[in-house]
A = this chain, B = another copy of it.
Amino acid sequence: MVRKTKEEAEVTRRHIIEAARRIFLECGVGRTSLEKIAAAAGVTRGAVYWHFKNKMELFFAMREEATLPLLDRVVFDEGDDDPLGGIERALLAIIHTLIDEPQTRETFEILIFKCEYVDELSPMMACTPGQFDFLQQLTDAYARAANKGQLRAVATPEAMAYDTFLFVGGLVRQWLSGAPDQRFRSGASAFIRSHIALRRA
């Protein structure tokens, strides 16, 4: 056994996380054994157990590497003089993140389709704090848009924020589902623009 330096150990840790993401995506979290992950990472289970207490801890480690930069990274500029356009750009940016960052896309696909929300994961069914923050930022942005007269007065900024929030949730899910006809992927930008157009004054 050739003992590794700290840097090398960090590399194998990342290899394990990457392998876990691949196998989770292919087999589902529940059906993935640590043996499979280890093999995919080119190590033995011993290495996996050295770096992670068990499968769940590995799962959370994978999640923390890629979950933050989707909704959480969305920024709404308070000084924007086109707040409604800013919302549209933010939604488009979310889709482009899915396109540009494979590990984020794969992680979300795992979170939505490849794991069961039971026991420790059960509380994660509901919105994460980051999602609530996104909802709050949407509300604030719509309020600024209303102040600038950009919105129809048929619904409150809060109601519009909820509508957009639910729309985005549905869109991301369908986008990730990889429907054979690709209709949600090819149409995503148009759906977003229509969604925004519906509330423009």
A interface, CB within 8 angstroms of B: 26-31, 113-118, 125-127, 152, 154-156, 159-160, 162-163, 165-171, 173-174, 177-180, 187, 190-191, 194-195, 197-200
Residues on B with C-beta less than 8 A from A171 are 166, 170
The answer on a CB contact under 8 Å between B190 and A159 is yes
A154 is contacted by which of B30, B169, B170, B200 (Cβ under 8 Å)? B200
The answer on a CB contact under 8 Å between B169 and A174 is yes
Q: Say how far A75's CB is from chain B's closest CB, in angstroms.
A: 22
The answer on a CB contact under 8 Å between A162 and B187 is yes
The answer on a CB contact under 8 Å between A116 and B114 is yes
A126 to B109, CA, bound (A): 12
A169 is contacted by which of B30, B165, B169 (Cβ under 8 Å)? B169
The answer on a CB contact under 8 Å between A126 and B180 is yes
The answer on a CB contact under 8 Å between A162 and B179 is no
